[in-house]
């Protein structure tokens, strides 16, 4: 029983990381119709800069850890805003060009990170409490899992409240439905859309710092590796559905954990099977809107 509880808890932690990456993808596609293949770069940059700052302050201190979270989120947000403003904004409704440019940006950024930080992973340390465990029903749960889950829940709640309760959120939703009408009212939709990219980048940067603590290292390819699972999560949950992404993140991560343990490391294969079943039976995803 303790093994099941441990797998369930670590699966929730992994699912939280997937959601932090997938939430930005889902938000950007759902509100703007942009498939951003450079999204993993926001995560890697946030993880590296967060690690650098933590090294300067003290990687095993709470001040260093908290600052790394803030710096990681800011790094992802700034890079995402610059990407949208100077690259993606010129390519709305040009999906082939979006894919080519964002894939190219991702490859160039990974090469840049290789040149700056090297190709080998950098192993990291956090506050001692994060490396310890908490006993729940006989299972020793790593404490970093609780921090990661809490951060993912906070991000989900914050994004939902932002979209539903703020003026910018209303402008964004209105601009998605009828951009011309909103612009005719004198509202700059472009600024609102840049803000969407910024929020997605901040979530990815935050996820990068937490992922580096979850896996114990940071590398130039960390973001691109997690981006693959984030795309799977986004498709299973339904393109554009934030709640669908949250549900799919947990489902995919739990399936990975249990299949890896009980079925001889076949977690990735199980996820691909799940993706195929969803696409065959419900192409729009679990909570996605069906295209007419």
The CATH number of residue 154's host domain is 1.10.3470
Asked whether residue 290 is assigned to any structural domain, the reply reads: no
Query: pTM of the full predicted structure?
Result: 0.91
Asked whether residue 286 is assigned to any structural domain, the reply reads: no
Asked whether residue 288 is assigned to any structural domain, the reply reads: no
Q: Looking at the 3D structure of the chain, how many domains does it have? A: 1
Instruction: Compute CA distances 53 → 1, 48, 72, 129, whole Å.
Output: 40, 9, 9, 19
pLDDT, tens digit only, all 292 positions of the chain: 788 999 999 999 999 999 999 988 888 877 777 888 999 999 999 999 999 999 999 888 999 999 999 999 999 999 999 999 888 888 877 778 888 999 999 999 999 999 999 988 889 888 888 888 899 888 889 899 999 999 999 999 998 888 888 877 777 767 656 666 666 666 666 777 788 889 999 999 999 999 999 999 999 999 999 999 999 999 999 877 888 899 999 999 999 999 999 988 888 999 999 999 998 998 888 887 654 4
Asked whether residue 230 is assigned to any structural domain, the reply reads: yes
Residues 281 and 292: their CA atoms lie apart, in Å, by 17
Asked whether residue 82 is assigned to any structural domain, the reply reads: yes
- Which domain range does residue 49 map to? 2-281
């Amino acid at each position: 029983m303790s093994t099941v509880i441990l797998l369930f808890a670590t699966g929730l932690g992994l699912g939280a990381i997937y959601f932090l990456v997938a939430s930005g993808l889902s938000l950007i596609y759902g509100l703007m119709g942009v498939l951003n293949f450079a999204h993993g770069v926001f995560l890697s940059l946030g993880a590296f800069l967060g690690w650098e700052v933590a090294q300067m302050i003290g990687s095993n201190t709470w001040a260093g850890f908290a600052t790394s979270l803030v710096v990681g989120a800011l790094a992802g947000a700034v890079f995402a805003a610059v990407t949208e403003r100077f690259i993606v904004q010129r390519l709305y409704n040009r999906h082939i060009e979006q894919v080519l440019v964002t894939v190219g940006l991702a490859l160039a950024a990974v090469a840049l990170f290789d040149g700056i930080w090297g190709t080998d992973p950098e192993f990291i340390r956090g506050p001692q409490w994060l490396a310890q465990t908490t006993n729940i029903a006989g299972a020793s749960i790593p404490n970093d899992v609780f921090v990661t889950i809490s951060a993912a829940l906070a991000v989900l709640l914050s994004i939902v409240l932002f979209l539903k309760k703020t003026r910018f959120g209303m402008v964004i939703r209105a601009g998605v439905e009828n951009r011309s009408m909103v612009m005719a009212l004198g509202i700059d939709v472009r600024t609102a859309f840049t803000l969407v990219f910024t929020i997605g980048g901040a979530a990815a940067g935050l996820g990068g710092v937490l992922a580096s603590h979850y896996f114990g290292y940071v590398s130039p390819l960390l973001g691109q590796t997690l981006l693959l699972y984030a795309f799977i999560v986004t498709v299973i949950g339904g393109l554009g559905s934030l709640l669908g992404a949250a549900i799919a993140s947990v489902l995919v991560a739990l399936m990975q954990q249990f299949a890896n343990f009980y079925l001889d490391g076949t977690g990735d294969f199980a996820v691909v099977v799940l993706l195929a079943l969803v696409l065959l039976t419900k192409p729009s995803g679990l909570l996605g809107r069906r295209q007419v």
